[in-house]
């Protein structure tokens, strides 16, 4: 922010006689989707219902253990390739209802996924007695080797997916994309690459050179040390399974374009095991929810405007995904999100005729602050807050003839008229010395709620610095107009120095802007005690 242009320090502002019109807020709107359910009494029955929803006929059926998630989840690419539904059964034999479904499909072949510990020899006997001689078995000594064998069967088409084999959410989140693109899923442990997975990657690299590897999950589930020696690695990761699933959604949206979406649980795997195969067949995305509420990242994904209305297909009964979540999807029940009930004003500094500070390569502060503001709006809405933007385009909120003072007054009026709970003002710093760098958060001791503003600034500063990694310049007191004259806790954030060539590049980067918004959001959550 250009200090001389915007920081009005220690002066009394005369009250203007004219009124400044209120900017229309961008309120968080409830979801409004049509919903249906696919479910059965048991996970076996749910998989049968999934099969019935997607397949009238299938020459081949994939059969996996209902109590062991890896084999079914890595099977989505093979399911798509063979146009084969995934059915589940107990290890000790073929469930009678599963056998009925195999016959309904008119299947000529059944492929067993996993060794005899997953599907015993009795499963083979049951199938042979039903007229399926010598069913094929794809298996290994453990889930890692079975995944390798499935990957070999699918074949290589330019990339592989690597997910944790001891936890189900990340493999489930990517299963529809893996199926649609027929990208094999290999499994790993968090800190050790299993031999079967390593051998498969080595074989592919020897044959094709450096291959593209999509890693799903953060450091806790697939550590960087596990990836040592691998090139062309792209990691899709969030702070938890739901945020990772939301990031997978963004990653896959160009490939999975259907207006139907499948909603699966992130708390337990059985009901969701067959969902990836059906979603892939229908070119549909998967989103992940908790059993009794929509997580913030999922709400964020679903609250985005779309070209076509979406139909939500819930996988699992009310005991798995509650009617409360169903109501949230339909818009009849408000989400019980962390910031529900709060009104937060997001104020991207400058705009319109005022560019703000200008970087050495000619970038404008007003563009950077708006980009971060829009990302922050999305993050806060995903957490349940009502968000009001002082501007959502390159237009000043001031009415009539523009002046710096009228612009500042308009921003303050928007927040005060809305009786907002928080005011977040976004800026870029600027200084004559191009080596000046770092992040600063300001509060005003002249504010009527100075203590709360200081606490808000401290929390935002710590989380923002953690998220973007710039020099921590601390929390400072300054009587800037917008944080002095707002009635609610308010903070003015100098995200970085646009006058610093290195930070100028970062401030204009969409990835950095998203990280900054996420850090500010985390600071607000921390301030609220989360």
Instruction: Please give the Cα distance from 391 to 395 (Å, whole number).
Output: 7
The band of 340, judged by pLDDT with boundaries at 50, 70 and 90, is low
pLDDT (average), residues 180-190 = 97
**pLDDT of amino acid 108:** 95
The band of 111, judged by pLDDT with boundaries at 50, 70 and 90, is very high
Q: 3-state class of 160 per DSSP?
A: strand
> For 128-137, 160-169, 215-224, 301-310, which range has the lowest pLDDT when averaged over its residues?
301-310
**pLDDT of amino acid 128:** 94
pLDDT (average), residues 119-129 = 96
pLDDT (average), residues 420-435 = 97
**pLDDT of amino acid 500:** 98
The band of 387, judged by pLDDT with boundaries at 50, 70 and 90, is confident
- The correct CATH number of 3-29+338-527 out of 3.50.50.60, 3.40.630.40, 3.40.190.10, 1.20.1050.40 is 3.40.630.40
Extended strands (E) in 104-220: 109-113, 136-138, 159-164, 185-188, 212-216
- For tokens 């921003």, name the residue: 411
Instruction: Please give the Cα distance from 112 to 129 (Å, whole number).
Output: 16
**pLDDT of amino acid 48:** 97
| Contact assessment for residue 344 and residue 47, using Cβ atoms and an 8 Å cutoff | no
- For tokens 């390798």, name the residue: 148
Pairing of β 422-429 and β 343-348: parallel
pTM equals: 0.67
Over 60: is that where the pLDDT of 385 sits? yes
Residue 291: both structure tokens together: 């059993």
Domain residue limits, the chain: 3-29+338-527, 34-330
Q: 3-state class of 192 per DSSP?
A: coil
| Contact assessment for residue 379 and residue 28, using Cβ atoms and an 8 Å cutoff | no
**pLDDT of amino acid 31:** 80
The band of 130, judged by pLDDT with boundaries at 50, 70 and 90, is very high
What is the percent of the chain with per-residue pLDDT over 90, rounded to a whole number?
80
pLDDT (average), residues 112-118 = 94
Q: 3-state class of 376 per DSSP?
A: helix
User: Which positions ≥6 away from 401 have C-beta within 8 Å?
Assistant: none
Average pLDDT over the chain reads 90
**pLDDT of amino acid 240:** 85
CA within 13 Å, CB half, 111: 22
**pLDDT of amino acid 13:** 31
Instruction: Please give the Cα distance from 358 to 354 (Å, whole number).
Output: 10
Strands of the 60-65 sheet, one edge to the other? 86-89, 60-65, 109-113, 136-138
Element (H, E) at 21: none
Strands of the 159-164 sheet, one edge to the other? 185-188, 159-164, 212-216, 233-236
Transcribe 383-443 into DSSP letters: TT-EEEES-SSS--S--SS--HHHHHHHHHHHHHHTT-SEEEEEEEE--SSTT---EEEEE
């Amino acid at each position: 922010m250009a200090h001389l242009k915007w920081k009005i320090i220690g002066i009394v502002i005369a009250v203007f006689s004219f009124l400044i019109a209120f900017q229309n807020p961008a309120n968080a709107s409830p979801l409004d989707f049509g919903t249906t359910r696919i479910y059965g009494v048991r996970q076996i029955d749910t998989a049968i219902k999934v099969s019935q929803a997607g397949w009238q006929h299938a020459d081949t059926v994939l059969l996996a253990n209902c109590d062991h998630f890896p084999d079914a989840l890595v099977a989505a690419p093979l399911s798509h390739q063979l146009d084969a539904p995934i059915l589940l059964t107990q290890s000790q034999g073929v469930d009678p209802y599963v056998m009925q479904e195999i016959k309904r499909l008119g299947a000529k072949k059944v492929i067993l996924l996993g060794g005899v510990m997953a599907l015993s020899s009795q499963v083979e006997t049951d199938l042979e007695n039903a007229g399926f001689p010598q069913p094929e078995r794809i298996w290994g000594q453990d889930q890692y080797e079975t995944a390798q064998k499935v990957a070999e069967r699918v074949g290589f088409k330019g990339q592989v997916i690597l997910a944790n084999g001891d936890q189900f959410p990340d493999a489930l989140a990517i299963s529809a994309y893996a199926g649609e693109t027929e990208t094999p899923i290999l499994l790993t442990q968090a800190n050790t690459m299993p031999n079967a997975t390593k051998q498969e990657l080595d074989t592919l690299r020897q044959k094709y050179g450096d291959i593209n590897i999509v890693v799903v999950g953060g450091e806790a589930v697939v550590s960087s040390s596990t990836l040592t020696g691998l090139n062309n690695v792209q990691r899709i990761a969030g702070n938890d399974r739901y945020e990772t699933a939301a990031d997978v959604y963004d990653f896959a949206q160009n490939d999975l374009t259907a207006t139907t979406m499948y909603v699966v649980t992130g708390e337990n795997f059985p009901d969701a095991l067959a969902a990836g195969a059906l979603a892939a067949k229908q070119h549909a995305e998967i989103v992940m929810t908790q059993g009794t509420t929509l997580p913030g990242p999922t709400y964020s994904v679903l609250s985005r405007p779309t070209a076509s209305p979406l139909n939500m297909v819930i996988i699992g009964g009310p005991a798995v995904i509650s009617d409360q979540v169903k109501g949230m999807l339909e818009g009849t029940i408000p989400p019980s999100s962390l910031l529900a009930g709060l009104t937060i004003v997001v104020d991207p500094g400058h705009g319109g005729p005022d560019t703000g500070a200008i970087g050495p390569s000619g970038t404008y502060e007003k563009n950077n602050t708006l980009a971060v503001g829009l990302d922050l709006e999305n993050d806060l809405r995903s957490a349940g807050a009502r968000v009001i933007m002082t501007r959502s385009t390159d237009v000043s909120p001031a009415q009539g003839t523009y002046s710096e003072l009228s612009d500042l007054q308009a921003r303050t009026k928007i927040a005060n008229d809305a009786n907002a709970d928080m005011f977040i003002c976004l800026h870029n710093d600027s200084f004559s010395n191009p080596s000046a760098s770092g992040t600063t958060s300001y509060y005003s001791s002249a504010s009527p709620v100075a203590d709360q503003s200081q606490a808000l600034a401290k929390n935002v500063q710590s989380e923002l610095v953690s998220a973007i990694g710039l020099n921590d310049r601390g929390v400072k007191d300054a009587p800037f107009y917008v944080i002095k004259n707002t009635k609610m806790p308010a903070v003015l954030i100098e995200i970085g120095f646009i006058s610093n060539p290195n930070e100028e590049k970062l401030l204009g980067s969409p990835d950095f802007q998203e990280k900054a918004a996420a850090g500010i959001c985390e600071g607000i959550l921390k301030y609220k005690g989360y």
